[in-house]
Each structure stands twice: as C-alpha cells, then as structure tokens.
Amino acid sequence: MKISVIITLKKDVLDPQGKVIHQALDGMGFDDVNEVRQGKYFEIDTKETNPKKAKDKVEEMCKKLLANLVIENYKIIDAN
Amino acid sequence: MKSAVITFPGSNCDRDMDVALKKFGFKNKMVWHQDVELPKSDLIVLPGGFSYGDYLRCGSMASKSKIMQSVINFANSGGMIMGICNGFQILVETGLVPGVLLRNKYLEFICKNVFVKINDKNNDYFKNINSNVLELHIAHNEGNYFCTNDQLKEIEDNEQIAINYCNQNGQVEDSFNPNGSIKNIAGIFNKEKNVLGMMPHPERMIDTSLSGEDGSLFLKNLINNLK
C-alpha cells in the first residue's frame, strides 16, 4: 500500500527558498503570484494492507522523523 | 580528563576536534556512530560536518543513529555534551536543546570569522573564562536559529542562551548577525546547562600560525572547569 505525505513549513516560519522562487517567477512574467512556500513530498510503500493501521504508522513516522514539528506540519494523503 | 568524539558518516571536523582536545590535555577516544556504548568520558563531542549528507534535515538522520540513545542517556544523567555546527543540528534534532536550525537567511554558505559574546558564565563551559567576547570561525549553510515564541520565552527565562553573534566590542546587534538567527543566537544550552550546542568551531582557533587563539582559551578553560 502506498501512502503519501506532504510536509510544509508552518505559517510563521521564514521560507527564504520559497521567496527566491517567487522572485524568479516574478522575473519570468508570472507576476500574479502572491506567495510561494516550498515543502517536501514523500511516497511510502508499506507492507501493511489495513489502510487505518498503515496511516497510523505513517503518522508515527512523521512525528518521529519525517517532520520537525517545531517548524513543519505534515499531511498524510489517503492510501490509494 | 576523558573525552569522546562521535564520528557519523559525513562528519568532517571529528579529527580536528580530536587534535584540539588532545592539545589541551584530554584523553580523547573516537566513537563510531554504530557503536552502542560510550567509553567512560567527562565530555562527549558531536563534531561538525555533513552527517548523512544533510539528507532530510541537517542532523535528523544522525540523531537516530545507534549511539545516540547512549548520548541521550548520558545527557539525562548530567553528562557534558557539546555539539559543534552539525553537532548542534544533531542536538536540536534529538530534542536535547530546544529550537531548530534553518537555512541561512540569505541562502548562502557562510565561512568566516565572527565574534560571539558569552552570555552566561554560570555553567561548566564558560565559568572562569578570562574574556567576554571570543573570535571563532563559522562555516555553515543552516545556522539560522529559530524557535517558537513560547520556547524563546522559556530559553530567556532559564538563561539558556550561551553565546550571541556580536562585534569585537561585544555589541549584539542585527548588523552582526550573519545568518538571521533569532536574537543573534549562536549557541544554546539545555535547561540544566550540561548540554551545549553552538555553530562556531572552537577547534579551528587553536593555533596562532593558522588562525586565532580564542578556541584555545575556550578549550583550556573547559578542561580546567572539568578537573
């Protein structure tokens, strides 16, 4: 079973990379962009077949390793 | 006095630290990250470098290494642990010191000498040191110290800020902040002040013919405090 995770920076954490990407987009003519925030995306293929159990395990992974909860939020996307 | 430096895959200041500690009288041992037990030590050092290629977040993979459980136990029993640069990043990822280290504000790798002000001498690291300002070297891409407002209040209330970026006269101002760190923070303690994480490298300032001597001042003082 594959489960996806998206990690994003919390709102009040400065994202200098996102800012530079925004500036670059602006320079390329995409001048209607309000803000860009950069994040991370993971695809986790697990042997677990029970979607609830798999999701719980991935949540534990997020808390223990994938995200740093001081600065990041995680969002688990439903198993396919 | 006995010390141990932990080498992770990608550490690159471990041998410099070994040389520096021995120069000032420590009997130092190198410890591999896959070891389980620490040798009997008065000081454990997590060195600088790029452990695990800085994958995921700097220090995050190293913080889950086999040896780290012993390091955490050592810290919790009052043992002295010093994390330098990547070692600081590993410490924040273990949660032994609060906060995180983000990418430098202007997205550049910074490699230069800086001045830091010793903010607190009420601890075994800086007690009796004969200076209030040290000139040390920094070399990092992720040294931008950040924490939540609640954490900052706690850190300030407990006087956990160890050193701040400043000028040579010890003035702590925005213009002397190289990387965007909150409150110019360059190093921080845990609550009990037995764990110190800092971005500057004292081991790079132990030889006047190569650099400066303020690292010597710090390490000499440290071993005297531990005796």
The number of helix segments (H) and strand segments (E) in chain B equals 5, 11
Ranges of chain A with pLDDT below 70: 79-80
Confidence of residue B96 (pLDDT cuts 50, 70, 90): very high
Which pLDDT belongs to residue A80?
57
Helical H segments across chain B, by residue range: 14-23, 68-76, 86-94, 149-157, 214-226
Q: B223 CB contacts (<8 Å, ≥6 apart)?
A: B1, B24, B25, B26
ipTM: 0.83
Helical H segments across B50-174, by residue range: 68-76, 86-94, 149-157
Whether the Cβ atoms of residue B111 and residue B141 lie closer than 8 Å to each other: no
The domain locations on chain A are 2-77
- Where residue B141 sits, what CATH number does that domain have? 3.40.50.880
Q: What is the mean pLDDT of chain A?
A: 93
CATH number of A2-77: 3.30.1280.10
Note down the domain range covering B188.
2-226
Taking the Cβ of residue B226 and every Cβ of chain A, the question of whether any pair is shorter than 8 Å is answered with: no
Give CA–CA dist A55/A74, Å, rounded. Answer: 12
Q: How many domains does chain B have?
A: 1
Please report residues of B whose CB lies closer than 8 A to that of A65. 56, 60, 64
Active-site pick, B85, B140, B147, B166: B85
B118-140 average pLDDT score: 96
